Amino acid sequence: MERTPEAIWHACLEIIRDNVNRQSFKTWFEPIKPVSLTEEDDQIKLTVELPSRFYYEWLEEHYYSLLRKTITKVLGPKGRLFYKIVIEKEDPQSGFEGISVNMPAHPPETTPPPPPPRTRPVSPTAPPITPESPVEVAEQEPPVPTNPFAIPGIIRKIQVDSQLDPKYTFERFIEGDCNRLARSAALAIAQQPGATSFNPFLVYGGVGLGKTHLIQAIGNYARQHHTAETIRYVSSEQFTNEFVQAIQHNRINEFSLFYRHIDLLIVDDIQFFGGKEKTQEEFFHIFNALHQTGKQIVLSADRPPKDIPGIEERLLSRFQWGLMADVQPPDLETRIAILRRKAEDEGIELGDDVIEFIAHHVKSNFRELEGALLRLVAHAAYQRRDIDLALAREALRDLIKESRVTLTIDQIQQLVCEYFDIEPDLIRSKTRKREIVQARQVAMYFCKQFTQHSLKSIGLHFGGRDHSTVIHACQSVENLMETDPKFREIIEELRHKISLYSR
């Protein structure tokens, strides 16, 4: 074999190629360039150049054993691998200038390891390391490290800013039928990132339905319980902006390797990737690298991925590898629970009638529910009034007008029957049982008050009865209200419940 650095490194690559998958070989080994081959101090030193410090971190953590065995096989027991790492220096006048950091000689195996160096956060858009101050160096000459791939003064472990909002937790997430599947899957993922079949995990749904809360809860749980070491939450817009900056400053390798280093990657609102071909291509390769190494990927979108315009088919197919779960607008019980939790968190005293009033009229999403509550509190503070149903109707008049509900006869029948605990079919039947007759008359009474239907139309909805039966029912209810206080309370309670739907 020719004794040139190119020939030696080519022989090493042939061995490495047989021991790693194609994607890993292309990503981590093809960019390495042989620099020199020297013999001194009983050692044969092959020096190779790496594009950035991220390559060094990754090779040391994942391929140290393979590289050591490969060098020994090609160069013999005296063979040693040295790195030259290019560190970029930003110069406003001249652009980026390459600075080399060389490896020390391979130390004896008995040399004790140095104390762990201090670290600082590193992000893909952080300023590049310069040789003067950002690299932490001991005042005295540091001991020679035992690991032949360790570089004195270079950060050993990258600290990544997770960008998580600590308020988004599973404890604060209100579960209901509208989001139960998504929440259960999210918790399972948080407990074992990358170890479930839910990889990737994609949650989708309309605006304000708790997607961001849920996916950040995964990250916060993993961070608190140490189920993932390196966590990164990023919006698709931020990811795209970082990628564009990396292109502008010729730092694509550093950008790519930063994200491939993440154990739990959470990307919000991926619908904004639509139409951005270069961003999708880069994300595609990062996705593959993370998935192949068992790292967890969590995504969110405002619609099913297949409905997002401009998303490439190869990305769509990968989204389907794991689990896609949707979140729906909250049902009544969930809306009530959300309002109670929010009021409790903010120290606001709300009566059940006020909570039910808001929950009945603001139905679209969590965000509008919280907005309605804050609006009500602001009105109460400004007018120095206690929060009651009258103030709620006044403060939320505009919202209620927009979401005004026109009650149907069927809905009124349902509400009355639920109150009296009977089946709706019974009040439409011919039965003359006293309790059924009374419920039927009450339902007719409220249909006359809360709908625009004629007496004839109302009678037809109650088993084909005529308008005179409806008139008699209304008179019977009014008469009984005057003589029976308990019955009057029943009517007022029902009137309140029905009014929550109609105003």
Binding-site residues for ATP sit at: 208, 210-212
Torsion sign over Cα 335, 341, 346, 352: positive
Strands, sheet with 323-326, edge to edge from the N-terminal-most edge strand: 231-235, 264-268, 296-301, 201-204, 323-326
The side-by-side arrangement of strands in the sheet containing 79-91 is 33-40, 43-50, 79-91, 95-102
Using DSSP, state whether 248 is helix, strand or coil: helix
Rg (CA), the chain: 34
Rounded distance between C-alpha atoms, residue 456 and residue 149, angstroms? 90
Q: What share of the chain is helix, strand, coil (3-state, %, to 5)?
A: 50, 15, 35
φ, ψ of residue 109 in degrees (nearest 5): -65, -20
CB neighbour list of residue 228: distance below 8 Å, 6 or more residues apart: 193, 194, 219, 222, 263, 264, 296
Quote the DSSP letter at residue 106. Answer: P
Round to whole Å and give the CA distance between 466 and 470: 7
Q: How far is CA 260 from the centre of its chain?
A: 19
Report CA dihedral (166, 169, 171, 173) to the nearest 10 degrees: 130
Strand partners, 49: 33, 84
Q: Which residues pair with 234 in a beta bridge?
A: 267
Q: Is 42 left (phi over 0), alpha (psi -120 to 50) or beta?
A: left
Q: Is 84 exposed, middle or buried (0-12, 13-18, 19+ CB in 10 A)?
A: middle
Task: For residue 386, give the 3-state DSSP assignment.
Answer: coil
Mark the binding-site residues, compressed into ranges: 208, 210-212
* Structure tokens, 342: 């929010």
